[in-house]
Structure 1
């Protein structure tokens, strides 16, 4: 079963409110049953003694004197109208109704059966009691003051409610204080996922939070060290391999006589070029621009420049560039991203080259499209994995399957994403989403 409250803050506040409410209900129940009820019953017992004394005095008088005294008390022979003997409890007057019912029940127990009591509600609440005036029953009304009815319970309710709200507010502020380092941790984790190096998290908070922050700091340091080691290793490998490759080119040029088989020479040089290209792709994947500083730039201008370069090689890209604001991006990394996508379109799409930019809310989009044979949906989801190549790339040599992995890393480095979808009318669209807010804050 899924809880409707997903955040830790909401769950803790809800739990605190429930606990405070249960505590207040239990406290009020104890107050009413063991404190307030005995007080009301004692007051009813004392009040019944006064009523019985009054009834005895009226009964002992002569008929004429008793009727005169009863008249001064506002007595009447019939029960008054608008008597509310069993008033339903009102949500707004719950405790007053409870106290009144307890008082009436206790008073009736202490009075004789022939002396019933009734409560009259209205603008002025009064207690009617049937007494005996010279042997004749008569109803006498006694006004009940509001202070006597509430007996301080209203103040207790207001105080309990205020304390409950104060406890909930205090818990909310405490939970906000606890949640702040968790939010910093989540933000730092997103930065690491995007390829950035966030500053070290503070470890001066609660013990549990400090342990998590310390472990995260150790993890980021280990990742940074591993990244540095990998880049250094690949740079060393590239240097150590390219040095003998250069010597091999020179040796071939010096050892192969003029007039030798040109096909063999071209093939050998082609193999050397492929090895050099593979080494460069490894280097690009190892360092996809993490150290490059973002600069505000015109993304459309960069696309026009690359389209012009590809047009000079005989590959024309149709352009549909929307109105984009200045976006801070890493120039070399972004050029590498667009060049890889456009080169893939040229190699595997062959026709229908198209570049499109637009904005949708806080996000800028770049789409590089082609009219190639396309790939299956299952293969699309695997294209960004390192060393993964689509089925239409099997016949092409010289690649390592790192081109789109580099594009994906650069997109995530800018806080964006890379997606593929089938193009309407055939072909493939590679869409890069770049959040403008993220880019501005980078």
Structure 2
């Protein structure tokens, strides 16, 4: 199962959201702290200004009434609050800040709780207590309008960042898809060169590489197809002349050689063919049964072929591709393997599998890497008549062109095993309807 966090976009999204959340949280905490300190400083400045204004008023115009909520209280009055040592931390800091702004030996007290907040100040030169109102020192609430604005800004920032991350990873995703198609041997259209400079350079290099590989492959295919095509006419004339020979032993030998050469030429043409298979999609299980039945009837001396077909009707492949895959693998098993040969299909959670195995000696471990290379014969004993070293190379090319993957190896020392896997998404479209009905 694919994990969203395992993709580039998922990791970019997680990183962006985490960074934005951390920065917004830090900004909010700093703003709350700064607002609390600013409120305290403003209250201290206001209280200090009022106390100085009252002193100047008393010194200059003692007969004039004081402003409302400002009063002078006799030190002997019972209304004078007692010096408290258990004030809340904000009030204690406020009183200390006011005391620092006043002359030395100034007494600073805070009015009793439950009443409008007042500040009581008396310096050594003051005859009475000066009582002035102060701003309430409220602790910032946990949820206020700032949180709403913070959430709104954070949401828009996340959406913009996710869009930027998507736009940044999209060219890379297109390039990854093109690389996957190129690895399976499928046609690869030019990838748009978008994104940052490094990504554009990478995409440009990939497009050039695909063009050079396609040009080289096309030149090789044209050369190979031309040579093979030109050989067909002389081989047909040679076979016709061989049929007219009087010596039966010589005639049969020449005919066998001509047939071997004709088979090699046909393999050349098949390997050189690089077009898409436009044949009708057929059920793999039914087609395998028909091909095996025909192979048993036609191939004289062929080993026993058994079938284990369990994929169901939803496993579909182009008919020509499937016939070529099976014929090459059965011919290979006939030439180099030992009975019984097994053709098996199965359905897995990821897709379907097609397996062809025999019980011969298999291929040496050091030779497995070269088994599917074109024109490579692993040892002289595997030469035989009519074999060009293209059988497994053709099978690999056909499987990859159909969107599948293949795995070649020996199974427990009991012969060669070729396992082909086809994911659901690469199967012909008609397979979807069949699968839903299955």
**Residue 381 of structure 1 corresponds to which residue in structure 2?**
369
TM-score w.r.t. the length of structure 2 is: 0.72
Q: Does 1:418 align with 2:410?
A: no
**Structure 2 vs 1, CA of residues 351 and 13 (structure 1 numbering), >3 Å: closer, same or farther?**
closer
**Structure 2 vs 1, CA of residues 103 and 302 (structure 1 numbering), >3 Å: closer, same or farther?**
farther
TM-score w.r.t. the length of structure 1 is: 0.72
In 2, Cα distance between the equivalents of 1:113 and 1:325? 100
SS in 1 for 2:291: helix
Q: Does 1:246 align with 2:231?
A: no
**Residue 91 of structure 1 corresponds to which residue in structure 2?**
none
**Residue 14 of structure 1 corresponds to which residue in structure 2?**
15
**Structure 2 vs 1, CA of residues 22 and 243 (structure 1 numbering), >3 Å: closer, same or farther?**
same
Selected match of 2:97 from 100, 106, 109: 106
Contact kept, 8 Å, 1:348 with 1:392, in 2: the verdict is no
Q: What displacement does 1:8 show?
A: 6.2
**Residue 309 of structure 1 corresponds to which residue in structure 2?**
294
**Structure 2 vs 1, CA of residues 310 and 128 (structure 1 numbering), >3 Å: closer, same or farther?**
farther
**Structure 2 vs 1, CA of residues 422 and 105 (structure 1 numbering), >3 Å: closer, same or farther?**
farther
Q: Note the alpha carbon deviations across 1:380-410, whole angstroms, 9 max, x for none.
A: 3332222334459536343222111111111
Contact kept, 8 Å, 1:13 with 1:172, in 2: the verdict is no
**Structure 2 vs 1, CA of residues 59 and 365 (structure 1 numbering), >3 Å: closer, same or farther?**
closer
Alignment of 1:26-45 (within 5 A): 40-45=40-45
In 2, Cα distance between the equivalents of 1:36 and 1:304? 84
In 1, Cα distance between the equivalents of 2:105 and 2:310? 94
Q: Does 1:276 align with 2:262?
A: yes
Alignment of 1:33-432 (within 5 A): 40-50=40-50, 61-62=73-74, 66-67=77-78, 70=79, 76-77=81-82, 79=84, 83-85=87-89, 106-111=97-102, 115=107, 144=136, 146=138, 150=140, 159=149, 162-199=152-189, 201=191, 208=197, 220=210, 223-252=213-242, 258-259=246-247, 262-287=248-273, 290-293=275-278, 295-312=280-297, 313=299, 314-390=302-378, 394=382, 396-424=384-412, 426-432=414-420
Contact kept, 8 Å, 2:184 with 2:403, in 1: the verdict is yes
In 2, Cα distance between the equivalents of 1:306 and 1:324? 17
- Which deviates further from its counterpart, 11-20 or 294-303? 11-20
- Which deviates further from its counterpart, 383-392 or 273-282? 383-392
Q: Note the alpha carbon deviations across 1:89-108, whole angstroms, 9 max, x for none.
A: xxxxxxxxxxx897566334
Q: What displacement does 1:336 show?
A: 0.6
Contact kept, 8 Å, 1:84 with 1:120, in 2: the verdict is no
Q: What displacement does 1:44 show?
A: 1.3
Q: Note the alpha carbon deviations across 1:6-44, whole angstroms, 9 max, x for none.
A: 6267348736964896699589969977x9867753441
Q: What displacement does 1:192 show?
A: 3.3
In 2, Cα distance between the equivalents of 1:420 and 1:195? 18
**Structure 2 vs 1, CA of residues 182 and 398 (structure 1 numbering), >3 Å: closer, same or farther?**
same
**Structure 2 vs 1, CA of residues 170 and 22 (structure 1 numbering), >3 Å: closer, same or farther?**
same
In 1, Cα distance between the equivalents of 2:95 and 2:391? 89
SS in 1 for 2:427: helix
In 2, Cα distance between the equivalents of 1:344 and 1:409? 16
In 2, Cα distance between the equivalents of 1:59 and 1:321? 104
SS in 2 for 1:357: strand
Structure 2 unpaired stretches of 5+: 59-69, 431-438
Q: Note the alpha carbon deviations across 1:131-170, whole angstroms, 9 max, x for none.
A: 5699999x99977264xx659x966676466435423321
- Which deviates further from its counterpart, 219-228 or 17-26? 17-26
In 2, Cα distance between the equivalents of 1:394 and 1:191? 33
SS in 2 for 1:381: helix
RMSD: 4.8
Q: What displacement does 1:305 show?
A: 1.0
**Structure 2 vs 1, CA of residues 427 and 117 (structure 1 numbering), >3 Å: closer, same or farther?**
farther
**Structure 2 vs 1, CA of residues 172 and 335 (structure 1 numbering), >3 Å: closer, same or farther?**
same
Structure 1 unpaired stretches of 5+: 88-99
Q: How many residues align?
A: 406
Contact kept, 8 Å, 1:415 with 1:438, in 2: the verdict is yes
